[in-house]
Protein backbone atom coordinates (compact mmCIF):
# COMPACT_ATOMS: atom_id res chain seq x y z
CA UNK A 1 0.00 0.00 0.00
CA UNK A 2 1.27 3.45 -0.90
CA UNK A 3 2.04 5.60 2.15
CA UNK A 4 0.24 8.91 2.58
CA UNK A 5 2.21 11.82 1.17
CA UNK A 6 2.54 14.07 4.20
CA UNK A 7 4.77 17.15 3.66
CA UNK A 8 7.85 17.15 5.86
CA UNK A 9 6.96 20.53 7.37
CA UNK A 10 3.75 19.03 8.79
CA UNK A 11 5.52 16.22 10.64
CA UNK A 12 6.82 16.25 14.23
CA UNK A 13 9.75 14.57 15.96
CA UNK A 14 9.43 11.01 17.32
CA UNK A 15 10.24 11.94 20.94
CA UNK A 16 7.12 14.13 21.11
CA UNK A 17 5.01 10.97 20.98
CA UNK A 18 5.92 10.61 24.66
CA UNK A 19 4.01 13.84 25.36
CA UNK A 20 1.06 13.01 23.09
CA UNK A 21 0.68 9.64 24.82
CA UNK A 22 0.83 11.13 28.32
CA UNK A 23 -1.28 14.11 27.29
CA UNK A 24 -4.08 11.88 26.05
CA UNK A 25 -4.01 9.44 28.98
CA UNK A 26 -3.95 12.07 31.73
CA UNK A 27 -7.37 13.70 31.81
CA UNK A 28 -10.66 13.77 33.69
CA UNK A 29 -10.33 10.09 34.60
CA UNK A 30 -7.44 10.97 36.92
CA UNK A 31 -9.75 13.04 39.13
CA UNK A 32 -11.65 10.12 40.61
CA UNK A 33 -10.62 6.68 39.34
CA UNK A 34 -9.47 5.65 42.84
CA UNK A 35 -13.02 5.32 44.16
CA UNK A 36 -14.10 3.20 41.20
CA UNK A 37 -11.34 0.62 41.49
CA UNK A 38 -11.52 0.50 45.30
CA UNK A 39 -15.23 -0.27 45.04
CA UNK A 40 -14.38 -3.49 43.15
CA UNK A 41 -11.14 -4.78 44.64
CA UNK A 42 -10.72 -2.70 47.78
CA UNK A 43 -7.25 -1.44 48.57
CA UNK A 44 -5.71 -4.34 46.68
CA UNK A 45 -6.69 -2.50 43.50
CA UNK A 46 -3.26 -0.84 43.26
CA UNK A 47 -2.39 -4.12 41.53
CA UNK A 48 -5.13 -3.38 38.97
CA UNK A 49 -3.42 -0.11 38.07
CA UNK A 50 -0.21 -1.98 37.28
CA UNK A 51 -2.05 -4.65 35.28
CA UNK A 52 -3.88 -1.99 33.24
CA UNK A 53 -0.63 -0.18 32.51
CA UNK A 54 1.17 -3.33 31.39
CA UNK A 55 -1.70 -4.42 29.13
CA UNK A 56 -1.95 -0.91 27.67
CA UNK A 57 1.75 -0.96 26.77
CA UNK A 58 1.32 -4.36 25.11
CA UNK A 59 -1.60 -2.99 23.06
CA UNK A 60 0.57 -0.04 22.01
CA UNK A 61 3.11 -2.52 20.67
CA UNK A 62 0.36 -4.30 18.71
CA UNK A 63 -0.76 -0.97 17.27
CA UNK A 64 2.74 -0.15 16.07
CA UNK A 65 3.12 -3.61 14.59
CA UNK A 66 0.09 -3.24 12.29
CA UNK A 67 0.86 0.40 11.46
CA UNK A 68 4.35 -0.61 10.34
CA UNK A 69 2.99 -3.53 8.29
CA UNK A 70 0.48 -1.35 6.42
CA UNK A 71 2.64 1.79 6.43
CA UNK A 72 -0.39 4.02 6.99
CA UNK A 73 -3.02 5.02 9.52
CA UNK A 74 -6.19 3.37 10.85
CA UNK A 75 -8.16 4.14 7.68
CA UNK A 76 -5.46 2.45 5.57
CA UNK A 77 -5.59 -0.60 7.83
CA UNK A 78 -9.37 -0.88 7.43
CA UNK A 79 -9.17 -0.63 3.65
CA UNK A 80 -6.29 -3.10 3.53
CA UNK A 81 -8.18 -5.71 5.56
CA UNK A 82 -11.82 -5.14 4.61
CA UNK A 83 -11.78 -3.21 1.36
CA UNK A 84 -12.82 0.33 0.54
CA UNK A 85 -16.51 0.39 1.45
CA UNK A 86 -16.55 -1.82 4.55
CA UNK A 87 -13.41 -0.01 5.69
CA UNK A 88 -15.24 3.32 5.43
CA UNK A 89 -18.09 1.98 7.57
CA UNK A 90 -15.60 1.11 10.30
CA UNK A 91 -14.03 4.56 9.90
CA UNK A 92 -17.43 6.08 10.66
CA UNK A 93 -17.60 4.04 13.86
CA UNK A 94 -14.24 5.49 14.97
CA UNK A 95 -15.38 9.00 14.00
CA UNK A 96 -18.31 8.59 16.40
CA UNK A 97 -15.98 7.14 19.04
CA UNK A 98 -13.50 10.03 18.97
CA UNK A 99 -16.38 12.54 18.91
CA UNK A 100 -17.87 10.86 21.98
CA UNK A 101 -14.45 11.02 23.64
CA UNK A 102 -14.40 14.80 23.08
CA UNK A 103 -17.89 15.09 24.55
CA UNK A 104 -17.05 12.89 27.55
CA UNK A 105 -13.93 14.83 28.52
CA UNK A 106 -15.50 18.24 28.02
CA UNK A 107 -18.81 17.54 29.78
CA UNK A 108 -17.16 15.76 32.72
CA UNK A 109 -14.81 18.69 33.26
CA UNK A 110 -17.70 21.17 33.11
CA UNK A 111 -19.49 19.10 35.76
CA UNK A 112 -16.45 19.41 38.04
CA UNK A 113 -16.49 23.20 37.65
CA UNK A 114 -20.23 23.35 38.32
CA UNK A 115 -19.99 21.20 41.46
CA UNK A 116 -16.86 22.75 42.96
CA UNK A 117 -16.84 26.36 41.83
CA UNK A 118 -19.71 27.80 39.75
CA UNK A 119 -23.04 25.95 40.10
CA UNK A 120 -24.75 28.30 37.61
CA UNK A 121 -22.07 27.99 34.92
CA UNK A 122 -23.69 27.59 31.49
CA UNK A 123 -22.71 24.28 29.90
CA UNK A 124 -23.45 25.64 26.43
CA UNK A 125 -21.38 28.82 26.68
CA UNK A 126 -18.40 27.17 28.33
CA UNK A 127 -18.48 24.40 25.70
CA UNK A 128 -18.65 27.01 22.95
CA UNK A 129 -15.68 28.96 24.31
CA UNK A 130 -13.59 25.84 24.88
CA UNK A 131 -14.37 24.34 21.47
CA UNK A 132 -13.51 27.64 19.75
CA UNK A 133 -10.14 27.58 21.53
CA UNK A 134 -9.58 23.99 20.37
CA UNK A 135 -10.59 24.83 16.78
CA UNK A 136 -8.14 27.74 16.82
CA UNK A 137 -5.36 25.38 17.94
CA UNK A 138 -6.29 22.74 15.36
CA UNK A 139 -6.19 25.36 12.61
CA UNK A 140 -2.45 25.57 13.32
CA UNK A 141 -2.05 21.93 12.28
CA UNK A 142 -0.90 18.79 14.03
CA UNK A 143 2.42 20.36 15.04
CA UNK A 144 0.59 23.08 16.95
CA UNK A 145 -1.55 20.46 18.70
CA UNK A 146 1.57 18.50 19.67
CA UNK A 147 3.17 21.71 20.95
CA UNK A 148 0.14 22.36 23.16
CA UNK A 149 0.36 18.76 24.35
CA UNK A 150 3.98 19.34 25.39
CA UNK A 151 3.18 22.45 27.43
CA UNK A 152 0.05 20.89 28.88
CA UNK A 153 2.30 18.12 30.21
CA UNK A 154 5.03 20.40 31.58
CA UNK A 155 3.20 23.42 33.05
CA UNK A 156 0.83 21.69 35.52
CA UNK A 157 3.46 19.22 36.65
CA UNK A 158 3.67 20.86 40.09
CA UNK A 159 0.39 19.12 40.93
CA UNK A 160 2.37 15.87 41.31
CA UNK A 161 4.33 17.48 44.14
CA UNK A 162 1.18 18.90 45.72
CA UNK A 163 -0.26 15.41 46.07
CA UNK A 164 2.86 14.50 48.00
CA UNK A 165 1.71 16.86 50.76
CA UNK A 166 -0.77 14.17 51.79
CA UNK A 167 1.96 11.61 52.54
CA UNK A 168 2.65 12.76 56.16
CA UNK A 169 -1.07 12.40 56.91
CA UNK A 170 -1.41 8.98 55.31
CA UNK A 171 -1.85 5.69 57.12
CA UNK A 172 -0.25 2.95 55.06
CA UNK A 173 -1.80 0.29 57.28
CA UNK A 174 -4.90 0.78 55.10
CA UNK A 175 -3.24 -1.58 52.60
CA UNK A 176 -3.21 -4.47 55.07
CA UNK A 177 -3.89 -7.31 54.70
CA UNK A 178 -2.26 -7.54 51.29
CA UNK A 179 -3.65 -9.77 48.53
CA UNK A 180 -7.02 -10.03 50.27
CA UNK A 181 -9.06 -10.08 47.02
CA UNK A 182 -9.44 -12.64 44.27
CA UNK A 183 -7.74 -12.36 40.91
CA UNK A 184 -11.18 -12.01 39.31
CA UNK A 185 -11.83 -8.86 41.36
CA UNK A 186 -8.39 -7.47 40.53
CA UNK A 187 -9.00 -7.99 36.80
CA UNK A 188 -12.46 -6.40 36.98
CA UNK A 189 -10.96 -3.39 38.73
CA UNK A 190 -8.30 -3.21 36.02
CA UNK A 191 -11.05 -3.20 33.38
CA UNK A 192 -12.78 -0.33 35.19
CA UNK A 193 -9.69 1.87 34.67
CA UNK A 194 -10.17 1.77 30.89
CA UNK A 195 -11.53 5.33 30.75
CA UNK A 196 -8.52 6.55 32.72
CA UNK A 197 -6.04 5.04 30.24
CA UNK A 198 -7.99 5.89 27.06
CA UNK A 199 -6.51 8.12 24.38
CA UNK A 200 -3.35 6.31 23.31
CA UNK A 201 -5.26 4.86 20.33
CA UNK A 202 -4.97 8.29 18.65
CA UNK A 203 -1.51 7.05 17.62
CA UNK A 204 -3.27 5.11 14.86
CA UNK A 205 -4.49 8.39 13.33
CA UNK A 206 -1.46 10.68 13.61
CA UNK A 207 1.12 7.95 12.89
CA UNK A 208 1.84 9.20 9.30
CA UNK A 209 2.66 12.66 10.73
CA UNK A 210 5.61 11.36 12.76
CA UNK A 211 9.11 11.78 11.34
CA UNK A 212 10.73 8.34 11.20
CA UNK A 213 7.71 6.78 12.97
CA UNK A 214 9.58 3.54 13.70
CA UNK A 215 11.69 5.53 16.18
CA UNK A 216 8.63 6.78 18.05
CA UNK A 217 7.61 3.36 19.42
CA UNK A 218 9.96 3.52 22.39
CA UNK A 219 8.68 7.01 23.27
CA UNK A 220 5.06 5.84 23.16
CA UNK A 221 5.95 2.94 25.48
CA UNK A 222 7.84 5.29 27.83
CA UNK A 223 4.76 7.50 27.87
CA UNK A 224 2.65 4.51 28.87
CA UNK A 225 5.16 3.61 31.60
CA UNK A 226 5.13 7.17 32.94
CA UNK A 227 1.33 7.30 33.01
CA UNK A 228 1.16 3.95 34.81
CA UNK A 229 3.67 5.09 37.46
CA UNK A 230 1.81 8.38 37.89
CA UNK A 231 -1.53 6.62 38.43
CA UNK A 232 0.11 4.15 40.81
CA UNK A 233 1.56 7.09 42.76
CA UNK A 234 -1.85 8.77 42.93
CA UNK A 235 -3.52 5.51 43.96
CA UNK A 236 -1.10 4.80 46.81
CA UNK A 237 -1.34 8.35 48.19
CA UNK A 238 -5.14 8.37 47.99
CA UNK A 239 -5.51 4.94 49.61
CA UNK A 240 -3.18 5.94 52.42
CA UNK A 241 -4.95 9.26 53.00
CA UNK A 242 -8.55 7.98 52.96
CA UNK A 243 -10.20 5.14 54.77
CA UNK A 244 -11.98 2.70 52.46
CA UNK A 245 -15.46 3.74 53.61
CA UNK A 246 -14.56 7.41 53.39
CA UNK A 247 -13.26 7.03 49.84
CA UNK A 248 -16.58 5.56 48.66
CA UNK A 249 -18.27 8.89 49.49
CA UNK A 250 -15.80 10.99 47.49
CA UNK A 251 -16.36 11.17 43.71
CA UNK A 252 -13.22 13.22 42.96
CA UNK A 253 -10.64 12.03 45.48
CA UNK A 254 -7.72 13.74 43.71
CA UNK A 255 -9.35 17.17 44.03
CA UNK A 256 -10.35 16.57 47.64
CA UNK A 257 -6.73 15.75 48.46
CA UNK A 258 -5.72 19.21 47.20
CA UNK A 259 -7.78 20.72 50.04
CA UNK A 260 -5.11 19.89 52.61
CA UNK A 261 -2.76 22.43 51.02
CA UNK A 262 -2.80 25.86 52.68
CA UNK A 263 -0.85 28.80 51.26
CA UNK A 264 -0.69 32.40 52.55
CA UNK A 265 -2.36 33.71 49.39
CA UNK A 266 -4.52 30.70 48.44
CA UNK A 267 -6.70 28.93 50.99
CA UNK A 268 -8.75 26.80 48.56
CA UNK A 269 -5.94 25.21 46.58
CA UNK A 270 -8.35 22.81 44.86
CA UNK A 271 -9.51 25.81 42.81
CA UNK A 272 -5.97 26.06 41.44
CA UNK A 273 -6.09 22.36 40.63
CA UNK A 274 -9.40 22.66 38.78
CA UNK A 275 -8.15 25.66 36.81
CA UNK A 276 -4.99 23.77 35.85
CA UNK A 277 -7.06 20.79 34.75
CA UNK A 278 -8.50 23.05 32.06
CA UNK A 279 -5.02 23.00 30.54
CA UNK A 280 -4.46 19.30 31.25
CA UNK A 281 -7.55 18.23 29.28
CA UNK A 282 -6.74 20.53 26.35
CA UNK A 283 -4.73 17.80 24.50
CA UNK A 284 -7.57 15.31 25.18
CA UNK A 285 -10.09 17.52 23.40
CA UNK A 286 -7.82 18.92 20.66
CA UNK A 287 -6.26 15.64 19.56
CA UNK A 288 -9.51 13.65 19.74
CA UNK A 289 -11.31 16.38 17.78
CA UNK A 290 -8.52 16.42 15.21
CA UNK A 291 -8.65 12.61 14.88
CA UNK A 292 -12.44 12.56 14.41
CA UNK A 293 -12.42 15.37 11.84
CA UNK A 294 -9.45 13.93 9.94
CA UNK A 295 -11.07 10.50 9.72
CA UNK A 296 -14.27 12.13 8.47
CA UNK A 297 -12.27 14.06 5.89
CA UNK A 298 -10.66 10.84 4.63
CA UNK A 299 -14.01 9.04 4.59
CA UNK A 300 -16.13 11.52 2.62
CA UNK A 301 -13.30 13.48 0.96
CA UNK A 302 -14.18 17.05 1.90
CA UNK A 303 -12.02 19.78 3.42
CA UNK A 304 -10.77 19.24 6.93
CA UNK A 305 -12.11 22.67 7.91
CA UNK A 306 -15.70 21.60 7.19
CA UNK A 307 -15.45 18.30 9.07
CA UNK A 308 -13.84 20.05 12.05
CA UNK A 309 -16.67 22.58 12.35
CA UNK A 310 -19.33 19.91 11.83
CA UNK A 311 -18.07 17.63 14.62
CA UNK A 312 -17.53 20.60 16.94
CA UNK A 313 -21.12 21.69 16.31
CA UNK A 314 -22.45 18.21 17.12
CA UNK A 315 -20.47 18.14 20.40
CA UNK A 316 -21.67 21.66 21.25
CA UNK A 317 -25.31 20.67 20.78
CA UNK A 318 -24.94 17.38 22.68
CA UNK A 319 -23.09 18.81 25.69
CA UNK A 320 -26.00 20.77 27.31
CA UNK A 321 -28.32 17.78 26.84
CA UNK A 322 -26.37 15.92 29.54
CA UNK A 323 -27.85 17.70 32.54
CA UNK A 324 -27.75 15.19 35.38
CA UNK A 325 -24.94 13.33 37.10
CA UNK A 326 -26.62 10.07 36.02
CA UNK A 327 -26.36 11.05 32.33
CA UNK A 328 -22.70 12.02 32.61
CA UNK A 329 -21.82 8.87 34.53
CA UNK A 330 -23.65 6.79 31.91
CA UNK A 331 -21.67 8.50 29.14
CA UNK A 332 -18.41 7.76 30.99
CA UNK A 333 -19.37 4.10 31.32
CA UNK A 334 -20.36 3.82 27.66
CA UNK A 335 -17.15 5.37 26.34
CA UNK A 336 -15.13 3.26 28.79
CA UNK A 337 -16.76 0.05 27.55
CA UNK A 338 -16.35 1.03 23.89
CA UNK A 339 -12.72 1.94 24.52
CA UNK A 340 -12.14 -1.43 26.17
CA UNK A 341 -13.59 -3.27 23.17
CA UNK A 342 -11.53 -1.21 20.71
CA UNK A 343 -8.18 -1.33 22.47
CA UNK A 344 -8.14 -4.78 24.01
CA UNK A 345 -10.27 -6.84 21.63
CA UNK A 346 -10.59 -5.13 18.25
CA UNK A 347 -6.94 -4.10 17.85
CA UNK A 348 -5.51 -7.63 18.47
CA UNK A 349 -8.10 -9.08 16.07
CA UNK A 350 -7.33 -6.56 13.32
CA UNK A 351 -3.59 -7.22 13.76
CA UNK A 352 -4.24 -10.94 13.26
CA UNK A 353 -6.17 -10.19 10.06
CA UNK A 354 -3.42 -7.90 8.74
CA UNK A 355 -0.81 -10.61 9.41
CA UNK A 356 -2.87 -13.29 7.66
CA UNK A 357 -3.52 -11.13 4.58
CA UNK A 358 0.15 -10.17 4.41
CA UNK A 359 1.19 -13.84 4.41
CA UNK A 360 -1.44 -14.76 1.81
CA UNK A 361 -0.31 -12.00 -0.53
CA UNK A 362 3.33 -12.91 0.01
CA UNK A 363 2.72 -16.61 -0.71
CA UNK A 364 -0.11 -16.82 -3.28
Residue 152: which of 24, 253, 56 has the closest Cα?
24
Q: Is residue 178 part of a domain?
A: yes
- C-alpha–C-alpha distance, residues 215 and 5, integer Å: 19
Q: CA angle, 214 as apex, 287 and 221 as ends, to 5°?
A: 60
Count the neighbouring beta carbons within 10 Å of the beta carbon of residue 1. Answer: 11
Q: Which of 143, 128, 63 is nearest to 315 (CA)?
A: 128
Q: What is the CATH number of the domain that holds 72?
A: 1.20.1740.10
For residue 12, give the DSSP letter.
B
Quick check: is 164 in a domain?
Answer: yes
| pLDDT by 10s per residue, the chain, length 364 | 555 678 888 889 999 999 999 989 988 888 888 888 888 888 888 999 999 999 999 999 999 999 988 888 899 899 988 888 888 999 999 999 999 999 999 999 999 999 998 899 999 999 999 999 999 999 999 999 999 998 888 776 777 778 888 888 888 888 888 888 888 989 999 888 888 888 899 999 999 999 988 899 999 999 999 999 999 998 999 888 888 888 888 888 888 888 887 777 777 778 888 888 888 899 999 999 999 999 999 998 899 999 999 999 999 999 999 988 888 989 988 998 999 999 889 999 999 998 888 888 776 5
Domain count, the chain: 1
Would 255 be classed as within a structural domain? yes
Does 36 reside within a domain? Answer: yes
Range(s) of the domain holding residue 102? 8-352
Is residue 198, in this structure, part of any structural domain at all? yes
For residues 335 and 104, the answer to whether their CB atoms sit within 8 Å is: yes
Identify the three-state secondary structure at position 89.
helix
Beta bridge pairs of residue 12: 210
Q: How far apart are CA 274 and CA 79, in angstroms?
A: 42
In this prediction the pTM is: 0.92
Distances 118 to 42, 113, 125, 282, 288 between C-alpha atoms, Å? 33, 6, 13, 20, 27
363 domain-assigned: no
Closest CA to 286 of 156, 155, 159, 141: 141
For the chain, give the number of residues.
Answer: 364
| Strand ranges inside 170-310, DSSP E | none
Report the candidate in 284, 283, 302, 310 with the shortest Cα–Cα distance to residue 96: 310
**What are the backbone angles phi and psi of residue 210, rounded to the nearest 5°?**
-95, 130
Residue 157 lies in a domain: yes
In a domain, 359, yes or no: no
Q: How far apart are CA 277 and CA 257, in angstroms?
A: 15
Amino acid sequence: MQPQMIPENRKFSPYLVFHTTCGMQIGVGALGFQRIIANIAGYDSWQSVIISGVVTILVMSLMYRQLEMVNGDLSDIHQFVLGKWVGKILDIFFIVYFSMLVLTVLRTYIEVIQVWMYPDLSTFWFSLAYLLLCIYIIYGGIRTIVGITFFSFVLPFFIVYILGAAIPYGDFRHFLPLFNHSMNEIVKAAQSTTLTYLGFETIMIYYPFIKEPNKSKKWAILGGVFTTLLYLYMTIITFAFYGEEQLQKDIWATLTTFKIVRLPVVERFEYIGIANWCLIILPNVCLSLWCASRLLKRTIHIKHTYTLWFISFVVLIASPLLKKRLHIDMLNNIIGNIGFLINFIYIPIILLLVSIIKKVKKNP
